[in-house]
């Protein structure tokens, strides 16, 4: 049995930092009186704020445990308005600073929603969670209050920068550009511009391109290097695709002579292969230089990619010629290049892989 009595930390997490944004209070807020004052100030600043209810619930939980003779302390920690990595990193730092002030047995988490509960793995990595108390704000079923709730979420879409850039910014750009083109008598171009902007916005948000770019820029010079190589490689690969299409069209001659599917694929690969290979090599080279500048062991992986590109270029070129001509000579060359490539890859992996494994695998970025 331990000689030390149980001492629990009642933790309230505000992941999007509404407390700091709306009250200018510095976090972490530690202590019952400080938490009560923070909740009151937040409720006065925004009576509809759910985080104020969560802090009040944490104070009530503290009083309940204290009445039962259980030692506890309250702490309120905040993240970042943009959520994501920055918010979780700040929450982790604030929790660590709170845990240094006393020896806590465990954490009682008071949460007002699923967004704040995303930090549960962070808390568990620092201290075991003994209990989770969820706070649900009660709303009347009357139609008037239903409209008020809908109005609150609509205001979030309009005034919250996290949502307004997508709910207002993208449609606004579409309307402006489409209006200009329609007034100019270019209705077809207006339709194409609308589809391209919508497709681009969905692509960026769906694949988190904006967050990836922001993460690269936070790394400093190496991040700019990676971003430049990525953008350049994409442009070169797109140019390669157009070059392959032009090669396929030019192969038909004037007047055009129809090609079968095999020949069309061969001309498409043959025409696009040089630029596509260069684009991939640019991306791998940018990653290689970035990892070398950061003294990361992952540069070996990028070196393998460049070696693979060099070894695969001749087999791919021969394969395209095989699709176009289908001669026995191209078949023999294709098999020879494939066997030589396999032998070279086997020799490289046999010589280098044991050294890389002996030094340990790199951490994921």
Q: How far is CA 91 from the centre of its chain?
A: 19
Mode of pairing for the β-strands spanning 106-111 and 71-78: unpaired
**Would you give the end-to-end CA distance of the chain in angstroms?**
43
Tens digits of residue pLDDT in 211-225: 766 666 666 677 777
Contact predicate 91/17, CB 8 Å: no
Number of Cβ within 10 Å of residue 114's Cβ equals: 8
pTM of the full predicted structure? 0.43
User: Tell me, what's the pLDDT at 358?
Assistant: 54
User: Tell me, what's the pLDDT at 256?
Assistant: 62
The pair phi, psi for residue 111, each rounded to 5°, is -130, 145
Instruction: Pick the closest to residue 279 from 233, 319, 333, 321 (CA basis).
Output: 233
User: Tell me, what's the pLDDT at 344?
Assistant: 73
Structure tokens that stand for 294 in this block? 């950061």
Contact predicate 127/73, CB 8 Å: no
Q: What angle do CA 151, 154, 156 make, to 5 degrees?
A: 115
User: Tell me, what's the pLDDT at 76?
Assistant: 93
Alpha-carbon distance 352 to 356, whole Å?
6
Alpha-carbon distance 47 to 173, whole Å?
34
Burial grade of 47 (CB within 10 A; 0-12, 13-18, 19 or more): exposed
Residues of the chain with pLDDT under 50: 1-2, 140-141, 144, 361-365
User: Tell me, what's the pLDDT at 301?
Assistant: 77
Contact predicate 78/91, CB 8 Å: yes
How many CA atoms, within 13 angstroms, populate the side-chain half-sphere of residue 318?
A: 17
Tens digits of residue pLDDT in 146-166: 666 777 777 777 777 777 777
Alpha-carbon distance 115 to 51, whole Å?
12
Across the beta sheet with 106-111, what order do the strands follow? 29-30, 71-78, 7-14, 106-111, 129-134
Structure tokens that stand for 20 in this block? 């700091």
Alpha-carbon distance 136 to 54, whole Å?
9
User: Tell me, what's the pLDDT at 210?
Assistant: 65
What is the 8-class DSSP label of residue 8?
E
Alpha-carbon distance 23 to 260, whole Å?
70
Alpha-carbon distance 250 to 55, whole Å?
70
User: Tell me, what's the pLDDT at 269?
Assistant: 86
User: Tell me, what's the pLDDT at 313?
Assistant: 83
Cis ω on the peptide bond leading into residue 122 (within 30° of 0)? no
Alpha-carbon distance 119 to 181, whole Å?
47
User: Tell me, what's the pLDDT at 357?
Assistant: 54
Residues whose CB falls within 8 Å of the CB of residue 67, separated by 6 or more in sequence, listed in order? none
User: Tell me, what's the pLDDT at 182?
Assistant: 82
Alpha-carbon distance 354 to 360, whole Å?
10
């Amino acid at each position: 049995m331990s000689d030390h009595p149980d001492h629990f930390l009642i933790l309230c997490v505000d992941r999007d930092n509404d407390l700091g944004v709306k009250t200018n209070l510095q976090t972490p807020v530690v202590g019952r009186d400080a938490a009560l004052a923070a909740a009151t100030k937040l409720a006065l600043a925004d009576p509809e704020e759910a985080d104020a209810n969560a802090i009040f619930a944490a104070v009530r939980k503290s009083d309940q445990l204290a009445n039962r003779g259980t030692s506890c302390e309250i702490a309120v920690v905040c993240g970042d308005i943009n959520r994501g990595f920055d918010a979780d990193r700040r929450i982790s730092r604030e929790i660590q600073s709170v845990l240094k002030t006393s020896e806590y047995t465990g954490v009682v988490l008071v949460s007002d929603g699923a967004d704040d509960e995303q930090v549960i793995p962070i808390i568990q990595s620092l201290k075991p969670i003994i209990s989770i108390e969820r706070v649900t704000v009660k709303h009347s079923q009357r139609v008037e209050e239903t409209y008020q709730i809908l109005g609150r979420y609509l205001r979030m879409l309009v005034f919250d920068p996290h949502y307004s850039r997508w709910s207002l910014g993208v449609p606004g750009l579409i309307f402006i550009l489409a209006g200009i083109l329609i007034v100019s008598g270019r209705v077809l171009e207006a339709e194409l511009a609308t589809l391209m902007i919508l497709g681009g916005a969905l692509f960026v948000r769906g694949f988190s391109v904006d967050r990836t770019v922001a993460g690269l820029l936070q790394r400093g010079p190496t991040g700019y290097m990676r971003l430049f190589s990525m953008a350049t490689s994409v442009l070169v690969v797109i140019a390669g695709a157009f070059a392959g299409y032009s090669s396929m069209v030019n192969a038909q001659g004037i007047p055009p002579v129809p090609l079968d599917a095999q020949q069309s694929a061969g001309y498409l690969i043959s025409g696009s292969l040089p630029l596509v290979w260069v684009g991939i090599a640019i991306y791998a080279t940018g990653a290689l230089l970035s990892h070398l500048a950061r003294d990361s062991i992952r540069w070996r992986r990028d070196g393998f990619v460049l070696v693979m590109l060099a070894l695969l270029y001749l087999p791919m070129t021969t394969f395209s010629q095989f699709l176009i001509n289908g001669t026995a000579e191209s078949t023999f060359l294709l098999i020879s290049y494939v066997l030589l490539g396999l032998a070279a890859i086997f020799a490289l992996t046999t010589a280098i892989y044991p050294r890389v494994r002996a030094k340990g695998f790199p951490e994921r970025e």
